[in-house]
A and B are shown apart, each in its own frame.
Chain A
Amino acid sequence: MATTHTRSAARLMMAPSVILLFAWMIVPLGMTIYFSLLRYNLLMPGTEEFTGLLNYEFFLTDPAFFDALKNTLLLVGGVLAISVIGGILMALLLDQPMFGQGIVRILVIAPFFIMPTVAALVWKNMFMNPVNGLFAWLFRLLGAEPLDWLAVAPLTSVVIIVAWQWLPFATLILLTALQSLDEEQKEAAEMDGAGPISKFIYITLPHMARAITVVVLIETIFLLSVFAEILVTTNGGPGTQSTNITYLVYTQALLQFDVGGASAGGIVAVVLANIVAIFLIRMIGKNLEA
């Protein structure tokens, strides 16, 4: 499909959806930018006025912003590390021939189907609760003082919960990659004298590079905007210890009713996401080239 004619026909056919998608994106973005330049507080209706970049100044100099920025990056990085490394290990395990493989695979995928709020509440009340939680019981069993996870290590707790949700996704993608590894290549490596570890480092891992890239990119997109898990567990606290940018924007808009400030925060989040995306594509994007 490479003649001039088919190409322009293709453009024409694609135009409606491209235009729709573009409008879908540009209208909210435009409105957000517009609001971010206004003094716009829901508690003072009718007093909107143009304030230039004042909202940005407030948002960016807010000490909570730097905490949120740090937390966002830690959250994304932590979950990525756990889900990619854990996913590789799980995939290697599930690739071994074993009894009931099909059922085990479905069970492993299951967490991915659970809504974030539900998953977070289950973790909060059944695992991390300092009195009734499973972890508390385990700690007591071992004679240790139970931990109030959400108070003592709020960000770590959120990372654990979110990682639990994303581990199946990573496992699934990496498992399919693993299964597409040519059997003869493994045998050739074996004949060449590669042990299990060398075989993993030199054959399996490079083969999975593309899948790992996909996992990292997709997860990053979603992890930059983690919200529900924080809302139902720590509410961003204590203090701002588990507040990420998304959650900070939420507190601005819906707890302080400052639409202008929240919009500025939203734009900052968009810029941040783009910076992260550029870095990622620079670092690992070459893996996606055929």
Chain B
Amino acid sequence: MGSITLRSVSKVFGEAKVIPSIDLQINEGEFVVFVGPSGCGKSTLLRLIAGLEDVSGGEIVIDGQNATELPPAKRGLAMVFQSYALYPHMSVRSNIAFPLKMAGMDKGEIDRKVSDAARVLNLTDYLERKPRQLSGGQRQRVAIGRAIVRQPKAFLFDEPLSNLDAALRVNMRLEISELHQQLKTTMIYVTHDQVEAMTMADKIVVLNRGNIEQVGSPLELYRKPANLFVAGFIGSPRMNLIEGKFAEANGAKTVGIRPEHIGLSRDSGLWEGTVTIAEHLGSDTFMHIEVPDVGTVTARAGGEFGVRHGDRVYLTPDETKLHRFNDRGLAL
């Protein structure tokens, strides 16, 4: 239960071709994350799967059944919205119970399921409250509760954490991952935050202008980005993309090297450069270094590497960790 297949799905809004054509296979029980820059069509794709938008072409198959024409409720999917979309006039209990009530389940059964969900999500003490009397994180949990009671084939999340503060976001991230471990239900999760993508996903789908740039596990994308877009998008700080003589010497149009794969030294190395900015994060230091003929290179050093603006340092890229791209931006 919970496999989803997209076959040349496309979506056009008036004149704008938001999604040209997408083929994607999502397996049962997978945690799939859609990432991409703002406006690339992540939400649109999710809403197409949910049935909240009609596809302009192609088909959506859920569990082997063609669901392209099915209304949202019949697809057996549950969605958690960015704004939570709780029903403000209902108590937490009624909110969570609503999909069950709509399904015509009997009262005792509903009560049992609601209290189960509330226990899993630590909401037992808040069941009689109204959504406006809850904190952001609690509201988020109610929205998730409303989704899990239905025991859907898959969960769809549209940037569910973007309204939360940083600390809470880390917490909720863990909770959602834990939930996935417990339920083993397929989850599709939209975010533009690559840390969320890297930490939660079994499979990441990188989108750009409505096209899939690459699909793979977080480490695959990190180790073997298929093209320049993915190389620049995955990893923080961004991969250094270097053109010119150094790239040609390596037989490529562009060469990429991640900041963490550059060796630093005070006395010798391949490149010599001047530190323009040093960001001390405690555990790490990120340095922006101006290297003649190469450009600005970002490099990572341990937290104790004491350099300041204007210091001279030597850099040595790890030859085995170079990423080479041709003139069309594809990996060689």
Contact = CB atoms under 8 A, between A and B. Distances in A.
Interface of A: 182, 184-185, 187-194, 198, 202-203, 206-207, 209
Given A187-B52, A188-B79, A193 B85 contact: no
Interface residues of B, number: 23
Nearest to A184: B85
Which of B77, B78, B87 is the most central at the interface, judged by chain A CB atoms within 10 Å of its CB? B87
B229 interface: no
Interface in B195-249: none
Contacts of B78: 191
Contacts of B71: 190
Contact of B77 (A182, A188, A191, A209): A191
A189 B102 CA distance: 9
A152 to B, nearest CB: 44
A185 B143 CA distance: 11
A288 to B, nearest CB: 14
B138 interface: no
B81 interface: yes
B89 A190 contact: no
B146 A192 contact: yes
Contacts of A192: 73, 98-99, 102, 146, 150
A159 B72 CA distance: 44
A191 B79 contact: yes
B50 A185 contact: no
A14 B178 CA distance: 58
23 contacts: A182-B85, A184-B82, A185-B86, A187-B72, A187-B85, A188-B79, A188-B85, A188-B146, A189-B98, A190-B72, A190-B73, A191-B52, A191-B72, A191-B78, A191-B79, A192-B73, A192-B98, A192-B146, A192-B150, A193-B73, A193-B102, A194-B98, A202-B90
Contacts of A203: 87
Contact of A207 (B77, B83, B89, B98): B89
Nearest 6 CB-CB pairings of A with B: A193-B73, A192-B99, A188-B85, A184-B85, A193-B102, A206-B89
A154 B50 CA distance: 56
A185 B78 CA distance: 14
B102 A185 contact: no
Contacts of B73: 190-194
Interface of B: 50, 52, 71-73, 77-79, 81-83, 85-90, 98-99, 102-103, 146, 150
A184 B81 contact: yes
A198 B98 CA distance: 10
Most buried by B among A189, A192, A198, A206: A192
B56 to A, nearest CB: 19
Q: Which of A184, A191, A203, A209 has the most CB of B within 10 A?
A: A191
Contacts of A202: 87, 90, 98
Contact of B85 (A185, A194, A207, A209): A185
Contact of B50 (A189, A191, A194): A191
Contacts of A185: 85-87
A192 B82 CA distance: 16
A193 B78 CA distance: 10
A30 to B, nearest CB: 44
A190 B98 CA distance: 11
Nearest to A209: B89
B99 to A, nearest CB: 4
A209 B87 CA distance: 14
B89 A194 contact: no
A194 B77 CA distance: 14
B83 A182 contact: yes
A191 B149 CA distance: 13
A193 B103 contact: yes
B99 A187 contact: no
Contacts of B77: 191
Contacts of A189: 87, 98
A203 B89 CA distance: 9
B102 to A, nearest CB: 4
Nearest to B71: A190
Nearest to B79: A191
Contacts of B150: 192
